[in-house]
Structures are given as structure tokens and as C-alpha cells.
Amino acid sequence: MEFTGLENCGNSPKNTLLAEWEQALALDDSAGIRAVLTDDVTLEHAGGSAHGIEDVVAELARIRGDLTRAHLDMAVTHGKEGATGGSWTRGSATIHIAHLFRFSSAKGTAISWIRVVQS
């Protein structure tokens, strides 16, 4: 599994947090995924939603699937909100992804809400 793109996202601690979280998700690093989620985190996506850290982590693993490559184009934050964008590849198929985030506070040390968008 190849992950690229971190070099574009290090201009703020919150941007770095999101970029590193995306890397953990791409590499299926459960500890890294959980490290910055609140216990009551909510996940929304086209197929439904999940609430609570255990259900969210399980649903993210299902959404992630068997990635062979992930690239992060950008991570941006402002106040309590942030977004990442890039691409995921499974075998020969590449899709574009966008993840929207809400932090539990403006400090941006914990994620309380995630929306996954894929095309």
C-alpha cells in the first residue's frame, strides 16, 4: 500500500493532524484512526451513517476496502472545520475522495464529525 501527499499539508497543526489521520486510514492503522476521534464521533456517507467510535471505525474500514494506493492532494482547516481531498486506488480503479471534518473545539485536537464523499 502506497500513501503519498503528506508533504503538501504541513502548514498548520490542524492540517497536519488531518493529513496524518488520512494516512492512518489509508494504511488501516486502527490506533492512528482512533487516536483523534471523540468517543461520540459521527460518520456520514452516501450509504448511511455511524455513531460512536467503535461503529465509526468499523464503517471506515468497510468504506476503505482494499486500497492499493492513496494520494492526499490537500488538507485545509478553518476554526472548527476542515477538509481533505485526494484519490484512492483499488487495483486498477481510482476514485476521488473528499472528507469533511468538524473538530470538537477550535484547538483542533479531536474529530467529532466526518462526512465521506466519493466519486
The domain containing residue 9 runs over which residues? 2-118
The pLDDT of residue 13 is: 92
The pLDDT of residue 11 is: 76
Question: What domain count does the chain have?
Answer: 1
Span 79-116, pLDDT tens digits:
999 999 999 999 999 999 999 999 999 999 999 999 99
Residues above pLDDT 90, as percent of the chain = 90
Distances in Å between the Cα of 94 and the Cα atoms of 54, 70, 86 are 28, 9, 10
Average pLDDT, the chain: 95
pTM of the predicted model as reported, rounded to 2 decimal places: 0.94
**CATH number of the domain encompassing residue 38:** 3.10.450.50
